[in-house]
Amino acid sequence: MRLRLFSKFEFPKEHGARRNALLRWAMIGSAVSKVSGLALQAVSIPLVYHSLGQHRFALYLLLTAALGTITLAQMGAGPGLIQGIAAANALGKRDQETSLLNAAFRFTGLAALIGGVVIISIIHLVPIDRLFGAAFAHDRVETVSAANVCIVILIALMVSGVGDSALAGYQEQVFSFIGSLVANIASMSLLFFVCRHTPTLIDIILVLYGMPTLARVANLFALFRRRPYLLLGAFRSCRGFYATLFSVGLAFWTIEISGMIEQYSGTFILARLSSTHDTDLFAIVFKYLALASMAVNVITQPLWPAIADAIAHRDIDWIHRSYARIRHLLNIYSGLLAVLSISAGPWIFRHILHVDTTGYYALFLILGLFALAHIRVHLLCVTMMGVQSTWAVAAVLFSENSLMAVFGVVLVPHLGAAGMALAYLIANVALPLWLLPRLMKRALQRISGGTQLAVEAC
């Protein structure tokens, strides 16, 4: 079947209009993909929680968090490829596009293999109680078996993800989003079937991580179908392009480390310093609010490659207009999300998800305020990365999440799950929410000599 709907001949010839058309298609695809992803998470969290039980669900969270660190091994090659492809495509340099893609495949494949060997060796050699806490000392056999399967899937997920990054560089993320939609629907269907019986950790991992891997492989076919010259140049020299990926990607790698700290340190700190109930409840509430916050990626995920394309074409006015419109929309959304969490969060979790939230109102209050601030910071980060201030973003986010972990260690023994949430909020307000608008103003002044947008960023 020919996917002529997305053929480049369907879009306007004028590049600015073409960028807008591609961005609209990407946002539509992103919206559909994110809705299906949210539906999958909304279904999977309570389903897996009740089917595995409290103890094994906590083990599942800790294991997948530990194995998920393999994504750090790619050193940001994906984002580096997006920026490189966007620039090369803007200049019509097909040889450079091909070399960048080949370098990304080789770099990511080697990094994934090395990272996988290191992580799985740690799982095999270090006692489980020293990794995850004394409560899991008797789960070694199941943990190691699940880790063996999960690490293979994650390696395949990383390598095939190079195709998604290339599609983003061409502003053709719509193919990636369609693949994600199909994978999410398939995962939901299989998860209902698996959880009807007594599922193992391996069963859950195969459903929730295996389907996205297959979708990414399909996206590779879409990429090579639209641009066969990329496949024909598979053995082209990559000399010099590894440095290009590394120079851009190292900053993104630092950002990924910061994201890993943000996503998983709360669970680990609570698992070591508080109760299993505090650990599970914080993980579930934080996960749902994080998923709701990630809905803004419907707009911001396609935005970053579009900004990179605009920079390559020196279309600075387009960046100004887009930032102002998107900031207004996200302010409305984040305000509504915070109000929902504060006013109705405990009721939703107690009566709809059947999770006991008695005595945990402070957790919903604090995390609601955190979501409000976090979405504002997210837009600032995406825009700054697009205007080539990636290292500034990396430094701020790494400092923020390191500070959050320190606050968590101090507050959790006294306040439990609410203390961990408070650590997130304090660190977010103390650093990025205060500092990033000032850095944003400087970045915009550097590019365009000072505009109304630079004033509004503050």
CA distance 104 to 156: 14
CA distance 312 to 194: 48
Q: What is the pLDDT of residues 140-198, one digit of tens each?
A: 888 888 888 888 888 888 888 888 888 888 877 778 888 888 898 999 889 888 888 87
> Are 194 and 274 contained in the same domain?
no
State how far the alpha carbon of 79 is from the alpha carbons of 45, 421, 449, in Å.
29, 30, 27
CB neighbourhood size of 390 (10 A):
23
> Are 201 and 333 contained in the same domain?
no
Q: What is the pLDDT of residues 364-393, one digit of tens each?
A: 999 999 999 999 999 988 888 877 788 889
> Are 331 and 215 contained in the same domain?
no
Determine, yes or no, domain membership for 7: no
CA distance 136 to 265: 18
Determine, yes or no, domain membership for 5: no
- DSSP assignment, residue 424? H
> Are 134 and 206 contained in the same domain?
yes
Determine, yes or no, domain membership for 279: yes
Determine, yes or no, domain membership for 204: yes
Determine, yes or no, domain membership for 157: yes
- DSSP assignment, residue 156? H
Whole-number CA gyration radius for the chain: 22
Determine, yes or no, domain membership for 94: yes
Determine, yes or no, domain membership for 64: yes
Determine, yes or no, domain membership for 365: yes
CA distance 270 to 67: 19
> Are 283 and 187 contained in the same domain?
no
For the record, the structure tokens of 84 come out as: 């490189």
HSE-up (13 A, CA, CB side) for residue 220: 18
CA distance 85 to 305: 10
Give, for all 458 residues of the chain, the pLDDT tens digit.
334 444 443 545 565 666 777 777 777 777 777 788 878 877 888 888 888 888 888 888 888 887 777 766 655 567 778 877 877 877 778 888 888 888 888 888 888 888 889 888 988 888 888 888 788 888 888 888 888 888 888 888 888 888 888 888 887 777 888 888 889 899 988 988 888 887 888 888 898 888 989 988 888 888 888 888 887 766 666 666 666 677 677 787 788 788 888 888 888 899 889 888 888 889 888 988 887 887 787 788 777 777 777 776 777 788 778 888 888 989 899 999 999 999 998 898 888 878 888 888 999 999 999 999 999 999 988 888 877 788 889 999 999 999 999 999 999 999 999 999 999 999 999 899 889 888 877 876 776 654 444 434 44
> Are 230 and 328 contained in the same domain?
no
> Are 129 and 183 contained in the same domain?
yes
With contact defined as beta carbons under 8 Å apart, do 430 and 378 qualify? no
> Are 225 and 283 contained in the same domain?
no
Domain's final residue, options 193, 220, 239: 239
With contact defined as beta carbons under 8 Å apart, do 184 and 33 qualify? yes
- DSSP assignment, residue 352? T
As for how many domains the chain has, the answer is 2
Domain's final residue, options 183, 213, 239: 239
> Are 130 and 267 contained in the same domain?
no
> Are 173 and 310 contained in the same domain?
no
With contact defined as beta carbons under 8 Å apart, do 374 and 429 qualify? no
CA distance 81 to 102: 10
- The range of the structural domain enclosing residue 42 comes to 12-239
> Are 195 and 342 contained in the same domain?
no
Question: Model pTM?
Answer: 0.67
> Are 349 and 440 contained in the same domain?
yes
Following DSSP, what letter does each residue of 295-341 receive, concatenated? GGHHHHHHHHHHHHHHHHTT-HHHHHHHHHHHHHHHHHHHHHHHHHH
Residue 403: Cβ-neighbour burial (10 angstroms; 0-12, 13-18, 19+): middle
Domain's final residue, options 239, 264, 291: 239
